[in-house]
Amino acid sequence: MQQQVSQFLEFVTAEKRFSKNTRAAYQNDLSQFREFIEPKMNGGGWPGVNRGLLSEYVLSMRDRDYAPTTVARKIAAIKSFFGFLSDEGVVKEDPTEDLASPKVGRPLPKYIGFPEIELLMAQPTKKGATPEALRDRALLQLVYATGMRVSELVSLDVTSLNMEGALVRCMGKGGKERIIPMHSQAVDAVRAYLEMGRPTLVRGSTERALFVNQRGQRLTRQGFWLILKQYAKDAGVKSKITPHILRHSFATHMLRNGAPLRNVQELLGHANISTTQVYTHLTSDHLREQYEKAHPRAV
């Protein structure tokens, strides 16, 4: 039985171009399955595997408290393996054809409330009008105003801005460009940084980056994360805050305030609206909370 497993692993490596990590995962999953099934086969080999034995194996994984994602991955490996055995003529019928995988729900994105956003935004102003404080205020205002990914934010150049039109141009995944409007507070913060903060930080260099560090070089993702982490600590915000949580917060707050789903999809740069729809679950929860607070019979 191990011989067929080895042949399958060679096949997925040579023909399917699976990575070393994927091959290792398949090898581990199939070895575990073989060790479970082999003692029950009485030398019958893979053609003797039936739906009952498969169900028994799936139940054994559940008894061991495997996460649904793990069970789903292992079932996928077994189904691929039996598809290979069927194509090779080792088995006449594929016993995994109707074998169902557990449903793996997409986790809801985490976000923070608007009061926490306000606390966060207020922190750079407390540090006065230093170049770093002006930069940080512009950073926070811009990322929450646009919902940009942190990689998009730190990739901005000065030429990405249209200050008169209150617009910013960013390059998203797959090199897709999108134009995002900025609200007035973000425009004011960015303008103050451009006029009074950035010139001091770049020290007359020809750096194109919009946001730079203390050495006048383009700010990195890690640099922004550290800045955000410190301001969250200063604000006393107990909720975990990351650059991506700010993006989730932007989307959630926009939808709760009536923005059409298609518009939010365009602002976020999602290729498929199904990716954006996950935020509607959050807004539905909010609607339920408000309904139960307001309706006289919702007790």
What does 105-121 look like in DSSP terms, one character per residue? PPPPPP---HHHHHHHH
Catalytic residue, from 74, 135, 137, 149: name it.
149
Give domain status of residue 95, yes or no.
no
**Is the residue at 100 inside a domain?**
no
Res 290: pLDDT: 53
pLDDT tens digits, one per residue of 92-143: 888 888 777 766 666 677 889 999 999 999 999 999 999 999 999 999 999 9
Three-class secondary structure of residue 169 per DSSP: strand
Average pLDDT of the segment spanning 207-235: 95
Choosing from 173, 208, 240, 288, which is the catalytic residue? 173
Catalytic residue check, 247: yes
Tell me, yes or no, whether 103 lies in a domain. no
What value does the mean pLDDT of the chain take? 87
Pick the catalytic residue: 135, 137, 198, 247? Answer: 247
Same domain, 282 and 144: yes
Would 27 be classed as within a structural domain? yes
On whether both 176 and 227 belong to a single domain, the answer is yes
What are 271-282's pLDDT values in tens digits?
888 778 777 766
Residue 299 has pLDDT above 50, yes or no: no
pLDDT in tens, 28-78: 999 998 888 888 877 678 888 888 888 888 888 877 888 888 888 888 899
Q: Whole domain around residue 119: which residue ranges? A: 114-294
Q: Is 281 a catalytic residue?
A: no
* Dist CA 146 CA 251 (whole Å): 9
Q: Are residues 255 and 153 in the same domain?
A: yes
Q: Indicate which CATH number applies to the domain containing 72.
A: 1.10.150
Q: Tell me, what CATH number does 235's domain have?
A: 1.10.443.10
Residue 107 lies in a domain: no
Q: Is the pLDDT of residue 295 over 50?
A: no
Q: Give the range among 82-91, 117-126, 245-254 with minimum mean pLDDT.
A: 82-91
Q: Is 279 a catalytic residue?
A: yes
Q: Which of 79, 169, 270, 286 is catalytic?
A: 270
Q: Give yes or no: 244 in active site.
A: yes
Cα(137)–Cα(159) distance, rounded to whole angstroms?
Answer: 19
Q: Would you call 173 a catalytic residue per the annotation?
A: yes
Specify if 79 maps to a domain. Answer: yes
199 and 238 assigned to the same domain: yes
Examine residue 99 and state whether it is found in any structural domain, yes or no.
no
Whether 82 and 135 map to the same domain: the answer is: no
> Region 74-85: what's the mean pLDDT?
89
